Amino acid sequence: MRFQQALLASLFAAVGIEGRPNEKRAGPTVYLAGDSTMAKTSGQLMGWGEYLGKYVSVPVVNKAISGRSARSYWNEGRFTEIEKLVTTGDIVVIEFGHNDGGSPNSASDNGRSDCPGTGSETCKSGKNGETVYTFGYYIENASKKFIAKGASVIVSSQTPNNMWEGGKYGAGASRFVDYASKAAKNIGKGASFVDHFQAVAAMYLKLGNTKTNALYPVDHTHTSPEGADLSAQAFVQAVSRDFNGTTPLKQYLKTPVPTVF
């Protein structure tokens, strides 16, 4: 009997399973990379990443940082921090765009603006001569590092600004929404895309003018905790409906899945 138990233990160890034969493996960890609209903030504001854990059955680690773009997140080594943490089966959600605009060629380059384009274009920083790459370059190269470690990546488009600002609904999307979609396609196997922008935009249309404006207590970009929670619900609803194709997160959604758009 002891010999059989030892043999079973060695077999489970060989395939990375601990404990008894009927013991389930732990699920993945979800890591979030993004800006203030995803990050933990304070006061009247909060990012949606702080609420994703309410709607999924696996741990969520929010690595989003206020004020970051794909470029600055890359240059600060924050993608590398996540790369060191991920293991096989983990999921990384990447969402940037709010801070990625502007011109890096300017003498007042803020260190966040990406080079315009969706391919191998490069620019030079007008401030320090740094070679600046495209939004897609930073997202795609970071994602490939995660995938090489056995993780999967969800490229998510940025949340919209207040679409009822001024009392009239406006549905125009930033170019970074399209950039995010193209980045996911360029990454290929191991990556998927969620159009978070369109999901939240549809939710705001349903909510209407008064309710949407109430979610923006300070400016037209950052939401209240209630707004952040709703943005998280819009994200998981998009995932549940295969809004832009199936993602690996779908199987870990708690039920019932929220319906906000």
Catalytic residues: 36, 219, 222
Q: Which residues of 116-144 are buried (b: 16+ CB within 10 A; e: fewer)?
A: bbbeeeebebeeeeeebbbbbbbbbebbe
Name the residue among 7, 226, 191, 6 with its Cα closest to residue 93. 191
- Judge whether 71 and 102 are in contact, CB under 8 Å: no
Neighbours of 6 (CB within 10 A): 10
What are the C-alpha distances in Å from 9 to residues 1, 3, 16, 32, 35? 12, 10, 10, 35, 44
SS3 content of the chain, % helix, strand, coil (to 5): 40, 10, 50
